Amino acid sequence: AETRAQIQAYEDLLTKHGLEPGEAGLAWLLTRPGVTGPIVGPRTADQLASALRAVELELSDEVLSALDEIFPGPGPSPEAFAW
């Protein structure tokens, strides 16, 4: 149920800002420290075009903050990832 609520909040946020899910996801990933380039595997020309649009997409501070609220992550590294 929590996952469905997160997905709905994500979809609502993107609809509000006129963003496509895949493009927003890739654009967000490019804002993460240490990520120099996501690996994508487009199967169609449309999927490749979408991935390329994501490179040019700049997410607003409002969208980035909302994404952090929707998907807060496990915590600080490396502690949150220790076994």
Q: What is the C-alpha to C-alpha distance for residues 42 and 81, in angstroms, rounded to an integer?
A: 30
The model's pLDDT over 43-77, given as tens digits with 9 standing for 90+, comes to 999 999 999 999 999 999 999 999 999 998 888 87
Q: Which residues contact 71 (CB under 8 A, 6 or more apart)?
A: 6, 10
Would you state the pLDDT for residue 71? 92
The model's pLDDT over 1-60, given as tens digits with 9 standing for 90+, comes to 789 999 999 999 999 999 999 999 999 999 988 888 889 999 999 999 999 999 999 999
Please report which helix (H) or strand (E) contains residue 19, including its range. Answer: none
**Strand residue runs (E) in the chain:** none
Q: Report domain extents, the chain.
A: 2-81
Q: What is the C-alpha to C-alpha distance for residues 73 and 34, in angstroms, rounded to an integer?
A: 16
